[in-house]
Amino acid sequence: MSKSKLVLISLGVALFALLLVYSYIYKKEKELLSLATPIKVLMAAKDIPEGSLLDESAVETVEIPKKFVQPGALTRPVEVLDRIAAVPMLKGAQVLDSLFRPAAEEGVARKIPADKRAYSIAVNDVTAVAGLVRPGDFVDVLVTVQTGSVQQGQAVPEGSIARILLQNILVLAVNQRSTAGAGPRVAPSQQAVGGLASSVTPENQKSPTTVRTLTLSLSPDEAQKTALAQEIGSLSVSLRSSWQKPEQQPLPLANVTAQQVLGTEKPVLPRTRPVWTEFRGSEEIQMR
């Protein structure tokens, strides 16, 4: 092989090695520059105690190299609004998504409107629409009471009165469940009134559990009325349609008496026997 060919081969090998080195250096330089790229993240603007409810003043946006951004770091102030810190956060620390309580552990208090109170009423499967009421639904609350007089120190029932006590009331929780969590529901925009979709139960939807309490969102005045009504009579609820827009003012509804229901002027004696009997195993429970 001639001397000139050996020189050309050597130059070719050297050039190829030079290209490999340049490619490696360029790749590493690109990786380093990528790690140094400034990224906006949220940092604690002050020391945040455990259990604090955060707002925009609790955090600040800063830029740090991508290399130092921790996994799960939040980048927008809106992501921390009204969230509760699960652990203390020191000033200057990155705000991570894992540092907040899960939504399921935040309780009902955050779901109560500022001018309302959570108030629970005792119900059963019948008075709570067969257990079909879910958190987030709106209901009307009805009260039924006995009227009468006191004769010789004894209460003498004379009749019964029913009325709608409260209208368009938000249900915050059913028993101790404050989220619907019962499988997908067909949205009103996806079904026709009375259509098949409105009566289909998803396969993964569990059967309704026994309802013992409903927690309602009430104003202080409504809570007082409900507390009194629960002491002097029996409460039940009627489920409102999701198609109906909430009224600005409650509908004016009068009391309903037994005579009006039956269309008679004769006295109607209140029921003295249990409305129904439940058998739970070997236990018999009479419900009035």
Mean pLDDT by 10 residues, the chain (288 residues): 74 83 81 74 91 86 87 89 87 91 69 85 84 87 83 75 88 78 42 41 52 89 91 88 67 73 70 59 61
User: Domain 38-105 is in which class?
Assistant: alpha beta
Q: Are strands 59-65 and 117-122 parallel, antiparallel or unpaired?
A: unpaired
**What is each CA distance from 221 to 138, 144, 172, in whole angstroms?**
18, 19, 18
Tokens for 58, please give them. Answer: 């609790």
Short-list 268, 263, 235, CA closest to 147: 268
Q: How far apart are the first and last CA of the chain?
A: 113
CATH 3.90.1210.10 residue spans of the chain: 38-105
Tokens for 78, please give them. Answer: 């809106």
- Residue-wise DSSP of 171-225: EEEETTB-S--SS----GGGS-TT-GGGGPPPTTPPPPPPP-EEEEEE-HHHHHH
Short-list 207, 198, 242, 215, CA closest to 132: 207
Short-list 210, 116, 220, CA closest to 171: 116
Position 105 scores a pLDDT of 61
Short-list 157, 135, 136, CA closest to 146: 157
Position 188 scores a pLDDT of 42
